[in-house]
A and B are shown apart, each in its own frame.
Chain A
């Protein structure tokens, strides 16, 4: 795998991660809760 292909793949992974985090933060606002942590709040998969 060349360095260019690796860079492209890495950027794609980063974009997916960033989008997922953003969506998660947004979804949280739609369902105000306690952050789904430490056993609190409904399971995130429901959104």
Chain B
């Protein structure tokens, strides 16, 4: 390993020589195939966590070298440049620069490069090489480059950059052996790449570098890379958990920027263009562009339709319809299967145990509570399947493009649509997806409205209410899908409406500028989609088996105690129980909405998570089923009456309840993530208040106007 004379070798504890396996960081532009390569390298040996203080996913996996030695690989968020514009890029920058206390600076860096777009991808590589760490460049998508008629020469690139370059097709697993071999090497050469820092900027780089070494305890090479970065970081994105600059360095930096501003020099532009000059020279040697005129590619032809001002909307609508219809039709068989097995399990317990509290706890508490939620697993998986499919084929970015015009009407841009669409599955990944939004106000507005998009936890509530609303088996599917669509539309419409309101009042700002890459269409990575679905299913089942089981058991107790005197009807028992008392206490507030104290119990218990409403209804109303068998919940609901004999679940009440659940912030997890993302209680409390307030007002309107109209 030959080091330039002015550089001290890195501290020994960071090198592989210490015996510890080196830690690799995986970096690359968005859409360069980074996740596929990460999955291919690490398989199922992945751990997904979070960087403390930011909602950016931290993915760490274990890969094995050719000799079976485990290697830690950190998958860093995709970035176009180390001059971060959004929180996820800021995490990538801070991990690479060793600014995060929670993640040790990686020993070696794997740079993934899209061979079809070498020049732009090399920009990030160029910045990474400045860091003075051993780098392996992975030239991915060599097949696509060949298809486009381009000739790419990896050896030439390796020679120019002075680091190993591995050609690769991550999707097909080609080149992985060579990559593992390179990763297993005990030592890797440092890049010899040199580029000329523009003369006018050189003194500033030197001064900041010296200060970083003296005041921020950085090693000289990192300090040089960081000083270059500080000069191009316009309005530096800071994320929680990162070490700030020392005051002295910040002062020197501000001094130079002030001087250049006064002289009218565009230092940042100068730096970018001198980097591109250096890259351009490399790219000219490494790539021979295709010379044949191939006409429009398949991607071009698809885009001509799906980004068309009219057909784009039609195709987006068709995709959404397909998703919702699938949720209803495909899921029916597995749902009936789960339903049947839960019922027979319950009956079996009833047959094999003597009557008593423990039997009731198992059947009315545990089985009906957990079973009532697990039954929705197939539908939730279908939803996640489609969202995964949209992401992996590249259609998601087109949807954002189509939606940009609509989003700009409410003061946001198309990028906010991707978090909103993910929120159909769950608001939490949705809110995590806002990390790609550059503008802080836009990000906050998107976070505030994202939970209005109907998430999969609302699905059980909607489905139960639709079942109670249209009990007839012969009602056409279209009616059910129509009602469901209406709920999703209402949530979406409200999200846009509130975004418009917030952008005009609380969080005023110009619609920010947006630049977004539309990746070429790809065949869906079914393995990656399946992996994601498996993860979701596991999370859902774990939740049903832990939290929801616990809540169901406690809820059973609250509805079974204190015991009513001997001979009381199940309904009197429930009314006098702890849960009944809470429900009765809430009744004055919800009676105008057409809800009684029993629904009140459901509203209270589902504040933690919406789907608990269904299991609560199972516990509350199965207590009333006086025959021995477990009646399906739907029939139990239809038997429910007000004290004066009126039907409780009238179509109007069901409708009102659905409306309530569209708007109400009934999700502790979302409140927790918003609190963390916004660094305080102000915004999550505001969000809970505005959402639940709106829910109450609209449910009131529905019930009162509906009753007045005679429904």
Residue ranges of A at the interface with B (Cβ–Cβ < 8 Å): 1-3, 5-7, 9-11, 13-14, 17-18, 20-21, 24, 28, 32-43
Contact = CB atoms under 8 A, between A and B. Distances in A.
B672 A38 contact: no
Interface of B: 47-50, 55, 57, 353-361, 425-429, 432, 535-536, 539, 543, 547, 549-551, 553-554, 556-557, 668-670, 672-673, 675-676
B237 to A, nearest CB: 20
B424 to A, nearest CB: 12
A2 B356 contact: yes
Which one of A9, A17, A37 has the greatest number of beta carbons of chain B within 10 Å? A37
A28 B549 CA distance: 18
A7 B551 CA distance: 19
A11 B672 CA distance: 31
Contacts of A40: 50, 55, 57, 428-429, 432, 669, 673
Given A21-B554, A24-B547, A40-B432, A34 B50 contact: yes
Contacts of B536: 38-39
Secondary structure at the B interface, as helix, strand, loop or mixed, is helix
Nearest to B563: A7
A2 B353 CA distance: 10
B668 A35 contact: yes
Contacts of A14: 361, 553-554, 556-557
A24 B554 CA distance: 14
B354 A1 contact: yes
Given A17-B550, A34-B673, A41 B429 contact: no
25 contacts: A3-B355, A6-B356, A7-B358, A10-B358, A10-B360, A13-B361, A14-B554, A14-B557, A17-B549, A17-B550, A18-B550, A20-B550, A24-B550, A28-B672, A33-B672, A34-B55, A34-B669, A35-B668, A35-B670, A37-B539, A38-B536, A39-B57, A39-B428, A39-B429, A40-B55
Given A7-B358, A39-B428, 9 more contacts: A10-B361, A21-B554, A34-B55, A35-B428, A36-B669, A38-B425, A38-B426, A38-B669, A43-B47
Contact of A32 (B551, B554, B676): B676
Contacts of B353: 1
Query: 9 closest Cβ contacts across the A-B interface?
Result: A35-B669, A6-B356, A34-B673, A10-B357, A6-B358, A38-B428, A38-B426, A17-B553, A14-B557
Contacts of A32: 672, 675-676
Which one of B47, B57, B676 has the greatest number of beta carbons of chain A within 10 Å? B676
Nearest to A1: B354
Contacts of A37: 426, 428, 539, 543, 669
Contacts of A41: 49-50
B535 A39 contact: yes
A36 B672 CA distance: 10
Contacts of A5: 356
B50 A3 contact: no
Contacts of B427: 38
A10 B588 CA distance: 33
Contact of A39 (B48, B356, B550): B48
A43 to B, nearest CB: 8
A33 B536 CA distance: 19
A11 B554 CA distance: 10
A33 B676 contact: yes
A35 B354 contact: no
A30 to B, nearest CB: 13
Which one of B429, B432, B553 has the greatest number of beta carbons of chain A within 10 Å? B553
Contact of B356 (A1, A24, A36, A38): A1
A39 to B, nearest CB: 6
A16 to B, nearest CB: 8
Given A10-B357, A28-B672, A21 B50 contact: no
Contacts of B360: 10
B158 to A, nearest CB: 38
A20 B425 CA distance: 28
A36 B676 CA distance: 13
Nearest to B361: A10
A36 B49 CA distance: 9
B428 A34 contact: yes
Given A33-B676, A34-B50, A38-B429, A7 B356 contact: yes
A28 B668 CA distance: 11
Contacts of A9: 357-358
Nearest to B673: A34
A22 B535 CA distance: 26
A6 B47 CA distance: 42
A26 to B, nearest CB: 14
Nearest to A20: B550
B553 A13 contact: yes
Given A1-B354, A21-B547, A34 B361 contact: no
B49 A3 contact: no
Contacts of B535: 39
Contacts of A10: 356-358, 360-361, 557
Nearest to B49: A42
Contact of A3 (B357, B432, B668, B670): B357
Which one of A17, A32, A33 has the greatest number of beta carbons of chain B within 10 Å? A17
A6 B359 contact: yes
Nearest to B422: A38
Contacts of B356: 1-3, 5-7, 10
Nearest to A41: B50
Nearest to A6: B356
Contact of A33 (B47, B50, B551): B50
A20 B547 CA distance: 9
Contact of A35 (B359, B432, B672): B672
A20 B550 CA distance: 8
Contacts of B50: 33-34, 40-42
Contacts of A28: 672
A35 B55 CA distance: 12
A6 B361 CA distance: 10
A17 B554 contact: yes
Given A6-B359, A39-B48, A34 B672 contact: yes
A36 B428 CA distance: 10
